[in-house]
Amino acid sequence: MDEIRYGVDAGVATLTIDRPAKKGAMTFAMLAEFTARIAEAGADPAVAVLVVTGVPGSFCAGIDLADPASRAPDDRGAGGERAPRSSCSRGRGGG
């Protein structure tokens, strides 16, 4: 999926949300790819850190509200609770 990019270099995995037209809002297909890549990074012994970022000008506006009807309610958000390692985040906010 082009809207979620993943790469590893020298022990640093980078997960990039690339959907600037929607301010990074994720469809459920994107969320599935996103969580799969987090699991992939967690299972890779060569990955020491995972950086989650967005393309310049946007990060993630949340879920694309135009998309929820495309998936069954039982599938929404599945997988996020299975993160294999602890995490922290750093962001720049407006307030």
Q: In CATH, what number is assigned to the domain containing residue 19?
A: 3.30.300.220
Instruction: Establish if 30 belongs to a structural domain.
Output: yes
Q: For strand 4-9 and strand 12-17, is the pairing parallel, antiparallel, or unpaired?
A: antiparallel
Find the mean pLDDT for residues 9-15. 95
pLDDT score for 8: 96
- Per-residue H/E/C for the chain: CCCEEEEEECCEEEEEECCHHHCCCECHHHHHHHHHHHHHHHHCCCCCEEEEEECCCCCCCCECCCCHHHCCHHHCCCCHHHCCCCCCCCCCCCC
Instruction: Establish if 76 belongs to a structural domain.
Output: no
Instruction: Establish if 13 belongs to a structural domain.
Output: yes
pLDDT score for 79: 52
Instruction: Establish if 36 belongs to a structural domain.
Output: yes
Distance, in Å, from the CA atom of 55 to the CA atom of 69, rounded to the nearest integer, reads 27
pLDDT tens digits for 51-94?
999 988 888 887 887 886 556 566 555 555 555 555 555 555 44
Instruction: Establish if 59 belongs to a structural domain.
Output: yes
Q: Which domain holds residue 35?
A: 4-64
pLDDT tens digits for 15-65?
999 998 888 888 888 889 999 999 999 999 999 999 999 988 888 887 887
Q: What's the number of domains the chain is made of? A: 1
